[in-house]
Amino acid sequence: MRTAYKVRVYPTSHQAAVLNRTFGCVRLAWNKVLAWRHARYHTQGVKTSYAETDRYLTALKREPEHGFLSEVSSVPLQQALRHQYTAFVNFFAGRTRYPRYKSRHGKQSATYTRSAFRWRDGRLHLGKMDGPLMFVWSWPDIDVTTLNPTTVTISRDPDGRWYASLAVETNAEPEPLPATGRAVGVDLGVKDFAVTSDGERIRNPRHLERKARNLARYQRRMARKQRGSNNRAKAKAKVARTHAKVRDARRDFLHKAGTRLVRDHDVIAIEDLNVRGMVRNRSLARAISECGWGEFRRLLEYKCERYGRRLVVIDRWHPTSKTCSACGHLLAGLSLSTRHWTCPTCRTRHDRDINAAKNILAAGQAVSACGADVRHSGSSRVRSAVKQEAQSARTGIPRL
């Protein structure tokens, strides 16, 4: 199994200078090769292989104005070309967008393979760098001296923090969690981050909204500073630190919420949300982006795979909110402002989110069983939700 450990790094001033110089060379190599590849494709109509980019980088180092590329380790430069080649493969396969140029103002990173670093007794020595790189280990149950990293990626965030990602190949598979015999459907939202079919509501912490006032003040201060000045750099770092606090708090919340769901349930059913299409709504784009639904689904996928749970993703077009979870009646329409509605067939009063979570669970169980449409047990008058004729919605009808 391949896993990774991300640790906080504290380089010395000399090590930071070497790493910053390496970041600049990696960025230059990426941008130069990308421009050459782009021009070659549009003028000659040919694609460029990794071997050709490697030869181009070698020729680039021989030029007098680019001789400084030989002063840093050559492995991060070659890894940048490999990453660029993979990015183009994914682009032509329709999985990602066209690779972009790297900027010096965002996150910087450099990847080292085994030929460019040495791992000895839990200490990391990078190529062309004096002394080991100090880092903080945060897993007390894992002996750091027993690790054998295959690659090391050093990164620097815009807020000035340094990290190292250690990729490790291990033969020890994680033990699956004990079975609970429980299944849950999860309906993601904005007001409540998640509502489960059990009726539990996970509150949306709204981390960005709580920091919005301070963030706006720091951004105004930065806007008043002269471009290129040290004061602007300090103000920009303060803005970046505020964004980092929001990002860290959101990631911590998503990890804890996902871990609790995986620990307490054998089967988890969620919707395949079209987040990219939903953020086109200018009124809700900021609130939807703040929730982090895509990251939450990615966390659930790898946690379920790691601990022996099953994640079922149902079709995004399934009418979970408009379908009665008790009898299967399908409404013709349901506005977003309607949070409660009464089924005109069985007179059941529904909470919109809890009803959707119950339908997500039913759809997930149907997919798990036979891959068919949703089937309800009970009354003989119940039919499949997607095959019923749509009827007009009536909200606010008192239950008899």
Query: CA-CA distance, 239 to 244, in Å (whole number)?
Result: 9
Q: What are phi and psi of 90, to 5 degrees?
A: -70, -35
Percent of residues in the chain assigned helix, strand, coil, to nearest 5: 45, 20, 35
Q: Side-chain half-sphere of 273: how many Cα atoms within 13 Å?
A: 22
Helices and strands in the chain: count of H runs, count of E runs: 9, 14
Amino acid identity for residue 12 in this structure: T
163 CB burial (10 A radius; 0-12, 13-18, 19+): middle
Beta carbons of 186 and 194 less than 8 angstroms apart: yes
Distance of alpha carbon 106 from its chain centroid, rounded? 17
Cα three-residue angle 72-73-79, rounded to 5 degrees: 120
**Active-site residue set:** 187, 271, 353
- CA 324 → CA 287, 349, 392, distances in Å? 28, 9, 13
The CA distances from residue 307 to 179, 228, 259, 313, 335, in Å, are 10, 50, 10, 18, 39
- The one-character DSSP state at 34 is H
**Beta strand spans in 219-299 (E):** 267-271
